[in-house]
Amino acid sequence: MAELVFVKLGGSLITDKKVEATPRPEVIGRLAQEIRAALDKHPDMRLVLGHGSGSFGHVVAQRYQVQTGCTDWRGYAETGAAASRLNRLVTDTLLAAGVPVVSLQPSASARCRGGSLIELSLYPIQKTLEQGLVPLVYGDVALDELWGSTIISTEIIFSYLAYALLPQRIILAGEVRGVYSADPRLNREARLIPVIRASQMNGEMGMLGGSHGVDVTGGMLTKVHLMVDLVRHLPGLRVYLLSGLEPGLLQQALENPDFNPGTLIAC
């Protein structure tokens, strides 16, 4: 069967996370073109795309503390609306570039318990993949049996989907090149960690920090924890973290399964 790849466009990559509801249309447009070019070269490749909410959903969620239960349920509605506005922009840009995406709203079927995603409808994703389309999910609000409400990041959604769909690779495109020993924007001596072995995980986790902008899902630390745990349970899976700000890197990573311009998480 053709390779299945999950690709996330990070919220800090496609928006300015320091300014509320501010997209980066030129970045989104370029990434859409890179995805289209990779599909042209490998037309049998199957993709599931996702994106973060950046300065759209995260800022509103932080205002209402939606991630751990709403005191004002209007915040749930407003956070979901903000996330869907960014999703509409990303969807339209991908379609304009020729990528046959189908936007699938996670909150429409998600059920969580204590912040963990325990149920999400798989049928729309499986069916659209069968038809040669590209499912597009995104960080969204979700109803939670214990807390009332929470936030499900794209990584959480990818982790849930991976157990059912068994992708060969997950590519997480963000602002920075990968995982560093310290924050490269604050410490010039920070070194890139090219490979993280999930089976040998030790000190790297302590080196990771959060996000520079508002991020109610925890920034880099949470992302790497989730991916390391996923790789431990799915040993054949490889996860790549790379910079989406460097033109061409995402396209090269999609076209070449062994290309690692940032950090690889593998068993």
Global pTM exceeds 0.75? yes
Q: What is the pLDDT of residues 31-43, one digit of tens each?
A: 999 999 999 999 9
Q: Are 164 and 75 in contact (CB under 8 A)?
A: no
Superfamily name and number for 12-266: Acetylglutamate kinase-like (3.40.1160.10)
pLDDT at 190: 87
Q: Are strands 111-113 and 4-9 parallel, antiparallel or unpaired?
A: unpaired
* Residue 86: closest CA among 125, 60, 123: 60
Give the SS3 label for residue 197. Answer: strand
Residues of the chain whose pLDDT is less than 70?
1, 202-218
**What is the model's pLDDT at position 206?**
47
Show me where the domains of the chain are located.
12-266
Residue the block writes with tokens 């609306």: 81
Residue-wise pLDDT tens digits, 92-129: 999 999 999 999 999 999 999 999 999 999 999 999 99
**Residue with tokens 């999930």, as numbered in its chain:** 198
Looking at residue 86, its pLDDT comes to 97
